[in-house]
Amino acid sequence: MRVFFKTVLFVSSLCFSVVNISVGAEVGSLSVTEASGLLTEKKAVIIDVRENSEWSEGHISGAIHIPLAQLPERLAELKAYQSSPIITQCRSGKRSAQAADVLKSAGFSKVYNMEGGLNAWDKAGLKTE
């Protein structure tokens, strides 16, 4: 009976460890207000993953433009931000969520998706250029 309980405890702790690992690998999300604050304080960089035509219509000042389709081949350009907070952003938040997953899988440790994308940014009255 003791062996059984020790086995159950071992398996339980192993499962708990695996859950913690996978939770740690998740991408966080930020509101536009939180993202704006981090950008203003220069505590994060923003990656705009929209297409060229969308970028030219308006973008967040200081954002780095890398369209989602180009992101895997352009990861080296972001090497300097490997352990810095990175906020991914698109029009509505869907493509940027995919981009955040790409960055997380590539070893970037502090990746956040901006909820609602540029639509939410504009709705909040925040500036673009």
Q: Is 78 left (phi over 0), alpha (psi -120 to 50) or beta?
A: alpha
Joined tokens for residue 17: 């460890």
| Helix locations, 25-93, DSSP H | 32-40, 52-57
| Residue 15 among the catalytic residues | no
Which residues neighbour 56 within 8 Å (Cβ) at sequence distance 6 or greater? none
Q: Note whether 30 and 115 are within 8 A (CB).
A: yes
Q: Is 117 left (phi over 0), alpha (psi -120 to 50) or beta?
A: left
Q: Alpha-carbon Rg of the chain, whole angstroms?
A: 19
Which residue in 90, 97, 118, 120 is the catalytic one?
A: 90
Please list the active-site residues.
90
